[in-house]
Amino acid sequence: GSGGSGGSEPTITAGTAPGFPPFEMKEGGDLVGFDVDLLEAVVEETDYSFEGWEEFEFDSLIPALNNDNIDVIAAAMTITDDRDENIDFSDPYYSADQSIIVRADGDFSPGSLDDLSDRPIGAQKGTTGEGVVNEELVGSRITEGQYNAYDNYVLAVQDLENGNIDAVVLDQPVAETFAANRPVSVAFVYETGERYGFGIREGDSDRQSALNDGLSTVRENGTYEELTQTWFGE
């Protein structure tokens, strides 16, 4: 940015949490992914100038937004009622359910939540996957001690591969990406009907409408479809 005194050039600094392929991840030191390309394409359609990316753990994104460290969250963040009390969201841009993944070469292949009973389970802190664990497993099918919370899903998947936990609950498109690249497989899908939105500060209606207009433009001009083909092969 120009940083001139009194300048009011509208800008957007975006925040994300890498380690969530193919939405956001590091490749050779670079931040890449569907969210990265999509948000940059959307901002391109607005009057805002794009200032760049800041990286956080997923559960630090909302505080970073509310501390003005960033202006937009682009992190495959599900629009939930709880989050909606602290921030606002753009229109939805992607849909997902949860998946349960296990070791690909293991003898454990659960087909339902009941099959996860008494097993050590992992999820990423502050996610809707953790929400499923807390609502559906902890206190009923598993003990609190059997739930392992990780700063990011890469660490959870590593612990799954190492045999420290027996399953990980995470967003289905990300589960499929891990299953394609690592020795894990999707055991079953747990339908949650989630929709992802870009997070903005509560009451920041200027950025909200700019992002919504930009989203409709990239859907209409074919950019959105190109990006889904690039990142999901759809």
In this chain, which of 41, 64, 75, 218 binds ligand GLN, going by CB under 6 A?
75
Does residue 172 belong to the site contacting ligand GLN (CB under 6 A)?
A: no
Q: Which of residues 187-216 bind ligand GLN (CB under 6 A)?
A: 194
DSSP sequence for 39-67 = HHHHHHTSSPEEEEEEE--GGGHHHHHHT
If the CB atoms of residues 20 and 198 are measured against ligand GLN, the closer one turns out to be: 20
- Match 């909200």 to its residue by tokens: 208
In this chain, which of 14, 15, 18, 20 binds ligand GLN, going by CB under 6 A?
20
DSSP sequence for 66-125 = HTTS-SEE-S--B--HHHHTTEEE-S--EEEEEEEEEETTSS----SGGGGTT--EEEET
Cβ neighbourhood burial of 69 (10 Å; 0-12, 13-18, 19+): middle
Residues 6+ away with beta carbon under 8 Å from 101: 157, 160, 167, 168, 170, 175, 178, 179, 184, 185, 186, 187
Shortest distance (Å) from residue 80 CB to ligand GLN: 7
Site map for ligand GLN, 76-115, x if CB under 6 A? xxx-------------------------------------
In this chain, which of 90, 127, 146, 208 binds ligand GLN, going by CB under 6 A?
127
In this chain, which of 14, 17, 64, 169 binds ligand GLN, going by CB under 6 A?
17
Q: Which of residues 41-60 bind ligand GLN (CB under 6 A)?
A: 58
Shortest distance (Å) from residue 181 CB to ligand GLN: 17
The site for ligand GLN (CB under 6 A) is made up of 17, 20, 58, 75-78, 124, 127-128, 171, 194
